[in-house]
Structure formats: structure tokens, C-alpha cells
Amino acid sequence: MEPAERSRVPRIDPYGFERPEDFDDAAYEKFFSSYLVTLTRRAIKWSRLLQGGSVPRSRTVKRYVRKGVPLEHRARVWMALSGAQAQMDQNPGYYHRLLQGDRNPRLEDAIRTDLNRTFPDNVKFRKTTEPCLQKTLYNVLLAYGHHNQGVGYCQGMNFIAGYLILITNNEEESFWLLDALVGRILPENIFRTWKLIHGHRRQAARELQGPAAGTGVSVPVSCVARLCTDSDSPFQS
């Protein structure tokens, strides 16, 4: 491909990730040129749906979510359907009070250890970028560690929180989305799945007792990442 043609595909995607050197520009353009019609049609439908201001809960919305939420509406839809917006509205100032609370050196060190490991191929998380999202990520994870001391900080939460920051571009919204995901949505889905596998409620309830927030589930953070693509989750996009 000629350099002039290659330049038509941005080196950095809308989220800030650098495309790899072996990225197939021609295949991408071919796919996107045909898929753009679908994306445009969906964007128009979402814009009409959200004209009233609120995000309704309906079968139509569920169907729309499963097909994908346009980037420009994603933060708003996730906040509404996850319950994060309601929690933020009901607890004004809570996030900032968490950041101003007592220090926890062990928690702080654990978070700092993973900051440079978070999305190294994303220009927005590099220290040379201004503003660098590492500080935002640190704040979100620190606040959540204080908020949910049963979970604190687990390796892998940095990627989940980092992705939420990229989508919302808002520190406090990212915190409340992380709380909705780790504290409620994940435990509820794990509980439901366990019942389906084992077939009776008592065993599920007994196995799921633990120190984590929400329903008290202690599970690997990798499960949270998988939940982001669960078709029944409001985080699916």
C-alpha cells in the first residue's frame, strides 16, 4: 500500500490505542466502508431514543444495547442502565471524600505498581502525554479501595477502570461504574450462573459467601473483564 493511502487510516484509534505495525489498513477500510452504513443507522436510532433525556428500560433498549452502543452515547447509557448514575446522584461529594480520607500505604503502593503496566500501547496513559490518565486511574482505584475494603485493589482492576475512564472521560463516573460492575453486576451474574450450573439455590448461596462488596462474592477480576462482553450486561457494547 502506498504511504498516501496508508495515511487514510489514523495511526491511533478513537480510544487512544496505537495500531500495530502489521495492521491491515486495506482490510480495515474495506470492512469499515461497508459497516459505516450500519453504524450510521444505529446512531440515528440511538439519538431518537435519547431525545427525551432519560434512558428508558425496555426491550427496545435491550435489543439496541446488544447490537452496540455508539461511542458518543456509551457513557450515558452505561451510567443509566448500570445504576451508577442513580448512585452518584444519591451520594454527592462521596467520591471526593474517599480521596481525602485516611491514607493506606499498602493500597497506594499496590496501585502504583500497576500504573505503568496499564495499556502501554495507549498514548493517553503515557507519562509524556498531557494530561496523563495515570493520575485519574490512580484516583479511581484508590477511591474504590477505600470504598470497598473487602476487595481493596486486585491486579487486573487497573485495566477495567482504565477502560471506563477512556469511555466516560470522567473520573467520578468511572468510579461509580466500577462500583456497579464489581460490587453488584458481577456478583449477580456469578450467582445466577452458579445456580444454573449446580441446579439448586442452597449450594450457590453457600459457595458465594465471602468478603467482597455487594452480595459478598470473592471472584477473580478476570471474570469482570469477561462480563464486559456478556450479552445480558448493560456494559456490553
Predicted local distance difference test score (pLDDT) of residue 94: 97
Each residue's pLDDT tens digit, 205-231: 454 444 443 433 444 444 444 444 344
Q: How far apart are CA 177 and CA 175, in angstroms?
A: 5
Phi, psi of 17 (to 5 degrees): -85, 135
Average pLDDT over residues 96-122: 94
| pTM over 0.85, yes/no | no
Q: Is 220 left (phi over 0), alpha (psi -120 to 50) or beta?
A: beta
Round the CA-based radius of gyration of the chain to a whole number and report it: 20
Q: Which residues contact 94 (CB under 8 A, 6 or more apart)?
A: none
Q: How far apart are CA 82 and CA 160, in angstroms?
A: 15
Among the ranges given (12-16, 53-57, 72-76), the one the predictor scored with the smallest mean pLDDT: 53-57
pLDDT at 10 over 90: no
Which of 159-181 are b and which e, b meaning 16 or more Cβ less than 10 Å from the residue's Cβ? bbbbbbbbbbebbbbbbbbbbbb
Domains in the chain and their CATH numbers? Answer: 98-201 (1.10.8.270)
What helix, strand, coil percent values describe the chain, rounded to 5?
A: 60, 0, 35
Grid cell at residue 171: 473520573
Grid cell at residue 62: 435491550
Q: Which residue, among 73, 40, 43, 77, has the nearest Cα to 62 in the 3D structure?
A: 77
